[in-house]
C-alpha cells in the first residue's frame, strides 16, 4: 500500500472525497488534498482544503488569489503543522545562533507577499462569482456549436469556476491544437487540458490504473480565457473568434 494518497482538485472542483476518504481510512493510508486550484470551492458542506490529513493551496500568478508564487499548507494536526513550520524555515534550532541538526528549506512566504495575498481575501467571493458567470456565458454561446461541450461542476460540489474547459468532439474537422493556434494568431491565449501523469516521460515506468478518461480530456480539452478580470468585451472577442474559426473549418470540410 502507498504511504499516502495525494488527491488533486482539478479546474476549481473538489474531488469525490466521500469515496476517497473512506477508502483511505479503510486501509489506514494518509490523504493529502492538493487544493491548488480549488480555493473557495465546496464539497457538500465542507470547504476545499478541509479534507485529509493536510491540504495545500497555490498562490501562483494564475490562481484566484495570487502572491505571484508560493502557497500554503493547512492541517488540523498540530504536530504536523509544527514539523512543516520547522522544515520550511531552514530547520533552525530554537537558539540565538544558527544551528541545524538536519537539512531544512527556505519555503517561507515573505511578509510583503503574504500581505498581497491577504488583501485579496475580501474580494474572493466576487472573483469566484465572476468566473462562474464567464463559464455560463461560454456554455450559452459555445454549446450552440455542434461538437462543443463545456465542463460542468461535479455532482455534490460547488466549484470556484477557476478555469473553463471546452471538450471538442473528435469528429470535428479541426483539432484542439489547430483551434489554439488560430486563437493565438489573434492574440488570444488558450491552453490544452492537463497532460495525465502516467503519460509524462518522467513516470514512463510507473505503475498506474485506469487513465482513459484523463487521456480523452487531454486529447480533446481546451482551456479558455477565464480570469477574474476578463471583461465582457474581451469574452465577446474570444467567442467571436471561436465561432468564426468553427464556421470556416466546417465550411471547408463540407466543400471537399
CATH of the domain at 235: 3.90.1150.10
Claim to verify: residue 192 and residue 235 sit in the same structural domain:
yes
Claim to verify: residue 73 and residue 131 sit in the same structural domain:
no
How far is Cα 221 from Cα 189, in angstroms, rounded to an integer? 14
Q: Give the tens place of pLDDT for each residue, 26-57.
A: 999 999 999 999 999 999 999 999 999 999 99
Provide the number of structural domains found in the chain.
2
CATH value at residue 83: 3.40.640.10
How far is Cα 158 from Cα 47, in angstroms, rounded to an integer? 9
Domain boundary among 105, 122, 139: 122
Claim to verify: residue 213 and residue 138 sit in the same structural domain:
yes
Claim to verify: residue 116 and residue 141 sit in the same structural domain:
no
Q: What is the value of pTM for the model shown?
A: 0.91
pLDDT at position 162 is 97
Claim to verify: residue 118 and residue 166 sit in the same structural domain:
no
Claim to verify: residue 109 and residue 133 sit in the same structural domain:
no
Claim to verify: residue 140 and residue 180 sit in the same structural domain:
yes
Claim to verify: residue 8 and residue 104 sit in the same structural domain:
yes
Claim to verify: residue 82 and residue 10 sit in the same structural domain:
yes
How far is Cα 157 from Cα 41, in angstroms, rounded to an integer? 8
Instruction: Give the pLDDT band of residue 1 (cuts 50, 70, 90).
Output: confident
Handedness of CA 22, 25, 29, 34 (dihedral sign): positive
How far is Cα 39 from Cα 55, in angstroms, rounded to an integer? 11
With a cut of 80, say whether residue 256 has pLDDT above it: no
With a cut of 80, say whether residue 255 has pLDDT above it: no
Which phi and psi angles does 217 have, rounded to 5°?
-65, -40
Domain boundary among 122, 137, 163: 122
Helix axes 124-142 and 232-254, enclosed angle (nearest 10): 30
Claim to verify: residue 80 and residue 116 sit in the same structural domain:
yes
Domain boundary among 95, 122, 149: 122
Q: Give the tens place of pLDDT for each residue, 180-206.
A: 999 999 999 999 999 999 999 999 999
Enclosing domain of residue 214: 124-254
- In the block, residue with C-alpha cell 480523452: 216
Instruction: Give the pLDDT band of residue 74 (cuts 50, 70, 90).
Output: very high
SS3 annotation, the chain: CCCEEEEECCCCCCCCHHHHHHHHHHCCCEEEEECCCCCCCEECCEECCCCECEEEEECECCCCCCCECCEEEECCCHHHHHHHHHHHECCECCCCCCCECCCCCECCCCHHHHHHHHCCHHHHHHHHHHHHHHHHHHHHHHCCCCCEEECCCCCCEECCCCCEEEEECCCCCCCHHHHHHHHHHCCCCCEECCCCHHHCHHHCCCCCCCCHHHHHHHHHEEEECCCCCCCHHHHHHHHHHHHHHHHHHHHHHHCC
Instruction: Give the pLDDT band of residue 254 (cuts 50, 70, 90).
Output: confident
End-to-end Cα spacing for the chain: 55
Claim to verify: residue 105 and residue 213 sit in the same structural domain:
no
Claim to verify: residue 59 and residue 133 sit in the same structural domain:
no
Amino acid at each position: 500500500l502507498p504511504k499516502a494518497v495525494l488527491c488533486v482538485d482539478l479546474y476549481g472542483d473538489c474531488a469525490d472525497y466521500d469515496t476517497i476518504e473512506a477508502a483511505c481510512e479503510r486501509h489506514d493510508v494518509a490523504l493529502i488534498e492538493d487544493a491548488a486550484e480549488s480555493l473557495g470551492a465546496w464539497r457538500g458542506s465542507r470547504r476545499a482544503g478541509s479534507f485529509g490529513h493536510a491540504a495545500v493551496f497555490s498562490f501562483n500568478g494564475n490562481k484566484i488569489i495570487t502572491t505571484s508564487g508560493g502557497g500554503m499548507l493547512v492541517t488540523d494536526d498540530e504536530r504536523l503543522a509544527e514539523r512543516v513550520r520547522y522544515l520550511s524555515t531552514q530547520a533552525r534550532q530554537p537558539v540565538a545562533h544558527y544551528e541545524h541538526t538536519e537539512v531544512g528549506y527556505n519555503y517561507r512566504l515573505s511578509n510583503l507577499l503574504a500581505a498581497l495575498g491577504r488583501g485579496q481575501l475580501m474580494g474572493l467571493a466576487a472573483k469566484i462569482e465572476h468566473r462562474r458567470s464567464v463559464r455560463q456565458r461560454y456554455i450559452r454561446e459555445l454549446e450552440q456549436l455542434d461538437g462543443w461541450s463545456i465542463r460542468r461542476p461535479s455532482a455534490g460540489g460547488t466549484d470556484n469556476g477557476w478555469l473553463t474547459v471546452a471538450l471538442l468532439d473528435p469528429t470535428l474537422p479541426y483539432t484542439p491544437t489547430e483551434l489554439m493556434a488560430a486563437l493565438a494568431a489573434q492574440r488570444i491565449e488558450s491552453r490544452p487540458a492537463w497532460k495525465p501523469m502516467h503519460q509524462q516521460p518522467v513516470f514512463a515506468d510507473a505503475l498506474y490504473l485506469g487513465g482513459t478518461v484523463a487521456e480523452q480530456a487531454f486529447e480533446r480539452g481546451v482551456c479558455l480565457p477565464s480570469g477574474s478580470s476578463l471583461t465582457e468585451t474581451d469574452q465577446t472577442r474570444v467567442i467571436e473568434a471561436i465561432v468564426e474559426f468553427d464556421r470556416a473549418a466546417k465550411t471547408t470540410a463540407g466543400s471537399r
